[in-house]
């Protein structure tokens, strides 16, 4: 059963395991066209260990992601729990495909996408992520270098483009669940499930990072669930299309913005908390600036339990990017669109 256009592209096919790479045709939004490792061979991860940062053992996830060639990475065991001793630095043109296996990255460092392109991460859980201590870490087949302590993000995206994160779940990281900074763009986060965290998404780390003016990010069909506080997302500079997500919990606010963001919220459901001080969906974080700095638009959203969305007066220009955007359903369908958010239980020879 599918409930949104991305899932409709592949989920109803019983031969998904034999045709895994069809997933590469299914990205929508600003990450449209991301093909990951479609052009490369399949790499089977057989070993959940992560012992050697400089010379990773063949058959481990770390050995797979540092290769210089395109790879479609899958997992051999029904359950694969991986503790990363240091941040996992992923090379370009990779798909990490967790379908058919229960893949959990927990209790250690997270995933880093830095100066790379064309990455798909699908169907994995990331939880209880902590900073890596740093040291010598290999980032490609031909290079390793010294890294300082990582931030403790579940996924950190730095100066990278054409990234698609789909059907993943995130909870409890030392820093953010997903941070996207330093000119990263052409990114879609879809069908994900977020729980038990304070600062969820950071898109743009500083008011002085002018390269983030070109940032374009889509968040679609994602469920923001229990135990979340703020930053779903928190945006600077770029254009952010937030479409058909279900916000069932927040403690402070849902969508925050600083330095001149353009935020288009379409077809989302916002269920306000009981706390009367947190009914407002949006939060401006712009010292010494007018309340309507940037562009904040709500279209066909559903606001429940007293939730309010403070829109701006600035006009919205979409002509140059509209073809890259996901068409929105009305917010009353957000619960249905996100029904299967998070990793799916895919079984060979059956539709997921």
What is the pLDDT of the chain when averaged over all its residues? 94
pLDDT tens-place string over residues 39-98? 999 999 999 999 999 999 999 999 999 999 999 999 999 999 999 999 999 999 999 999
Domain at 5-247+254-261, CATH class: mainly beta
147, 231, 269, 284: the active-site residue = 231
63-69 long-range Cβ contacts below 8 angstroms, 24+ apart:
64/94, 65/89, 65/90, 65/91, 65/94, 65/96, 66/90, 66/91, 66/138, 66/139, 66/140, 66/141, 67/43, 67/91, 67/140, 67/141, 68/140, 68/141, 68/142, 69/40, 69/41, 69/93
How far is Cα 260 from Cα 258, in angstroms, rounded to an integer? 6
Q: What is the DSSP letter of 326?
A: P
pLDDT tens-place string over residues 150-191? 999 999 999 999 999 999 999 999 999 999 999 999 999 999
Helix (H, G, I), strand (E, B) or coil at 13: coil
Q: Which residues in 67-114 belong to E strands, given as ranges?
A: 71-75, 79-82, 88-89, 94-97, 102-106, 111-114
Judge residue 207's burial from the number of C-beta atoms within 10 Å of its C-beta, 0-12 exposed, 13-18 middle, 19 or more buried.
middle
Per-residue pLDDT for 288 more than 60?
no
pLDDT for 1: 66
DSSP characters for 155-194?
Answer: EEEES-EEEEEES-EEEEESS-SEEEETT-EEEEEES-EE
Query: What percent of the chain clears pLDDT 90, i.e. is strictly above it?
Result: 89
CA angle 244/162/211 to nearest 5° reads 95
Residue in the structure block whose two tokens are 């490369």: 40
pLDDT tens-place string over residues 314-328? 677 777 788 889 999
Q: Are 53 and 135 in contact (CB under 8 A)?
A: yes
Token duo for residue 17:
């395991």
The pLDDT confidence band at residue 342, using thresholds 50, 70 and 90, is: very high
| Catalytic (active site) residue 231 | yes
Token duo for residue 35:
């093909």
Q: How many CA atoms lie within 13 A of 147 on its CB side?
A: 23
């Amino acid at each position: 059963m599918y409930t949104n256009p991305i899932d409709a592209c592949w989920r109803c096919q019983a031969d998904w395991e034999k045709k895994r790479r069809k997933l590469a045709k299914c990205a929508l939004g600003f990450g449209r066209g991301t093909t990951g490792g479609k052009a490369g061979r399949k790499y089977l991860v057989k070993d959940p260990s992560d012992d050697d940062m400089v010379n990773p053992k063949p058959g481990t996830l770390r050995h797979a992601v540092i290769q210089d060639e395109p790879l479609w990475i899958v997992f051999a065991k029904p359950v694969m729990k991986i503790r990363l001793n240091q941040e996992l630095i992923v090379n370009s043109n990779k798909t990490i495909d967790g379908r058919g296996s229960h893949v959990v990255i927990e209790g250690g460092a997270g995933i880093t996408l830095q100066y790379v392109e064309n990455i798909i991460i699908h169907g994995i859980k990331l939880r209880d992520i902590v900073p890596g201590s740093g040291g010598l870490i290999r980032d490609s087949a031909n290079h390793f270098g010294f890294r300082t302590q990582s931030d403790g993000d579940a996924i950190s995206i730095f100066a990278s483009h054409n990234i698609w994160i789909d059907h993943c779940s995130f909870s409890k990281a030392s820093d953010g669940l997903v941070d996207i900074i330093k000119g990263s763009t052409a990114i879609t986060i879809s069908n994900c499930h977020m729980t038990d965290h304070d600062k969820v998404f950071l898109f743009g780390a500083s008011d002085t990072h002018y390269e983030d003016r070109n940032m374009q990010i889509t968040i679609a069909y994602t469920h923001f669930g229990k135990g979340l506080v703020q930053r779903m997302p928190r945006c600077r500079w770029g254009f952010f299309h937030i479409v058909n997500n279900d916000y069932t919990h927040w403690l402070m606010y849902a969508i925050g913005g600083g330095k001149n963001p353009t935020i288009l919220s379409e077809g989302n459901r916002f269920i306000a908390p009981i706390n009367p001080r947190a009914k407002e969906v949006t939060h401006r974080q712009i010292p010494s600036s007018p309340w309507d700095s940037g562009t904040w638009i709500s279209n066909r959203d559903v606001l429940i339990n007293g939730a309010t969305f403070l829109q701006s007066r600035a006009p919205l220009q979409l002509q140059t990017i509209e073809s890259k955007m996901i068409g929105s359903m009305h917010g009353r369908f957000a619960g249905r669109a996100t029904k299967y958010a998070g990793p799916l239980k895919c079984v060979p020879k059956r539709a997921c």
